Amino acid sequence: MKKAFFDPKRAATWLTRAYARRAGFAPLSPRLAPRSMDQAYAVQAEYVREKSSACGPSVGRKIALSSVAMQQMTGLPAPISGRLHQGQVVVSPAQVRASDYGRLIIEFEIAVRLGCKLPDMGHPYDASTVSQAVAALGPALELADDRRANYAELAGQGLTLIADNAWNQGAVLGVLREDWARLPIDELNGAAFINGACVGRGQSADLMQGPLHALAWLANQAIGLGEPLGAGEIAILGSMITSKFPQAGDRIEYRLDGFEPVLLQA
């Protein structure tokens, strides 16, 4: 029996059209669905290329599913990554329209800006070696769109989530500090507020044991995908606080020890 040919471009075009018509998140049809993580990232790469025509080129990466609980929910064995587009990365204070999304998600992250490339050195990066590439570090909000996903049915849909660029729809960057190394970055506390009320707290150690550990994972994964992290790229490293689903008119504030707050009006 002839093996079916897998075409990542067809799947990427389906995703582009799904966003355009505000379709709910659902598994790709059997003829389009990736059957491995390699195939899922191949779809993501094509989807990112298609999306770049409207949202600008890729300027960085994101980590998703950094917790074991989230990995188990989607049936994946490890974190995953997605791309950030130039036209969707803005600085605080920022404003979005919740009505522009199927369902807007806000996540509370730490971002880094790289001062140099992290190429394949023939051995894995660790927190110490990636630290030398970090030009600046600070708080950020991730903007995502889960397209009204049913979280009770996400098991087995992890490959579709990868293909869908891990739901990323942008980021709001706070002020990134170049003197970040003076801070205890594995011991920072963060707090999220909506309309002045605290809705969650977290610690930087929750990011895969610390931000630089998370960055090392991302650097190694990017090399595995054949596209190492580059100088000037922004990386957001997973949410310290559980995701929030703001409504139109909500004011979101994210406070991270040692940094100016990040502000967003929905």
Which candidate, 133, 128, 130, places its Cα nearest to that of 114? 133
Provide the pLDDT for residue 4. Answer: 63
- List the domain boundaries for the chain: 57-151+165-265
pLDDT band with cut points at 50, 70 and 90 for residue 3: low
Which candidate, 161, 64, 148, places its Cα nearest to that of 107? 64
Residues 50, 27 contacting (CB under 8 angstroms): no
The whole-number average pLDDT for the span 121-145 is: 97
Question: Given a cut of 50, is residue 124 above it in pLDDT?
Answer: yes
pLDDT band with cut points at 50, 70 and 90 for residue 156: confident
Provide the pLDDT for residue 66. Answer: 85
H or E element in which residue 61 lies: strand 58-64
C-alpha dihedral over 16, 17, 20, 25, to 10 degrees? -80
Question: Given a cut of 90, is residue 62 above it in pLDDT?
Answer: yes
Tell which CATH architecture fits domain 57-151+165-265.
Alpha-Beta Complex (3.90)
pLDDT tens digits, residue range 164-215? 999 999 999 999 999 999 999 999 999 999 999 999 999 999 999 999 999 9
Provide the pLDDT for residue 215. Answer: 98
As to burial, measured by CB atoms within 10 angstroms (0-12 exposed, 13-18 middle, 19+ buried), residue 196 is: exposed
Question: Given a cut of 80, is residue 246 above it in pLDDT?
Answer: yes
Provide the pLDDT for residue 1. Answer: 42
